[in-house]
Amino acid sequence: MAGMSNLLAVLDAVDARLMSVELRTRSYELLGDLTGRTVVDVGCGGGRAVAELAERGARAVGVDHDPEMIAVARERWPGGEFHVGLACELPLETGSVAGYRADKVLHTLLDPVRAVAEARRVLAPGGRAVLLGQDWDTVVIDSDEPETTRRLVHAKADSLPSPRVARKYRNLLLDAGFADPVVEVRTSVFTDDTALALLHRITDEESWLAEQAERARTNRIFVAVPMFLVAAQG
């Protein structure tokens, strides 16, 4: 439970930033007009996107594999619709949604190809899918120890099931039968305590983190994360 609380705290801090708000808003725009239509947010976490999509007039459904996350989402957004479920086995009927959104999800999956095929299944003809996330090999960190930094970033990437899937989003959608993909890349820049919290999710190597903590104390910390945003039509 403590691990989930820490993760939620980091996610909340990142989600509250202006650049994150703008990125989410852009992902909603790429879904098209969903007024009165159903959209699923896969890997919904604490449910913020579900609430924001509902505010835009959609019937928003949140799905997450973690029952504790779903419990948090239901508590935070009591009017929302949330279900425990897997990205590769969504609790939705075939062709039942007009929009599909997966934000920072596919890198956690052993089989992202199957997840995108599942997106194709649940989407109605003409529906739109949006994939959003980071490529874990492209995290940029300013450090006096570049070789150590490179090692730690790659070690974190290699610990994930699909760390480089974001660079494959376009081709995954094409291979699943989607059409007219739109690709955008926006870089999130962190120069405050949120950066340090993110780095603690990458490594627990104390000597390296000590340098980053000193950088944070002296307003010298710098972390940049390119975010890949790809939308396509089913």
What are the residues facing 187 on neighbouring strands?
A: 226
Instruction: Answer whether residue 126 shows pLDDT above 60.
Output: yes
CATH of the domain at 109: 3.40.50.150
Is residue 125 one of the residues assigned to a domain? yes
Is residue 206 one of the residues assigned to a domain? no
Burial class (CB in 10 A: 0-12, 13-18, 19+), 210: exposed
What's residue 8's pLDDT? 74
Is residue 131 one of the residues assigned to a domain? yes
What's residue 15's pLDDT? 78
- Residue pair 230/130 in contact by the 8 Å Cβ criterion: yes
Instruction: Answer whether residue 4 shows pLDDT above 70.
Output: no
Is residue 199 one of the residues assigned to a domain? no
Tokens 């007024």 — which residue?
A: 35
Instruction: Answer whether residue 96 shows pLDDT above 90.
Output: yes
Instruction: Answer whether residue 20 shows pLDDT above 90.
Output: no
Lowest mean pLDDT among 11-15, 100-104, 208-212, 215-219: 11-15
**What's the pLDDT tens digit per position in 39-88?**
999 999 999 999 999 999 999 999 999 999 999 999 999 989 999 999 99
- Residue pair 56/27 in contact by the 8 Å Cβ criterion: no
Label residue 13 by pLDDT band (50, 70, 90).
Answer: confident
Gap between the Cα atoms of 82 and 38, Å rounded: 13
Counted domains in the chain: 1
Domain that includes residue 30, residue range:
2-135+161-187+225-233
Q: How far, in whole angstroms, is CA 209 from its chain's centroid?
A: 25
What's residue 1's pLDDT? 56
The pTM of the full predicted model, rounded to 2 decimals, is 0.92
Instruction: Answer whether residue 3 shows pLDDT above 60.
Output: no
Gap between the Cα atoms of 210 and 227, Å rounded: 27
Label residue 19 by pLDDT band (50, 70, 90).
Answer: confident
Length of the chain: 234
What the block records as the tokens of 23 is 């990125």
Is residue 204 one of the residues assigned to a domain? no
Is residue 148 one of the residues assigned to a domain? no
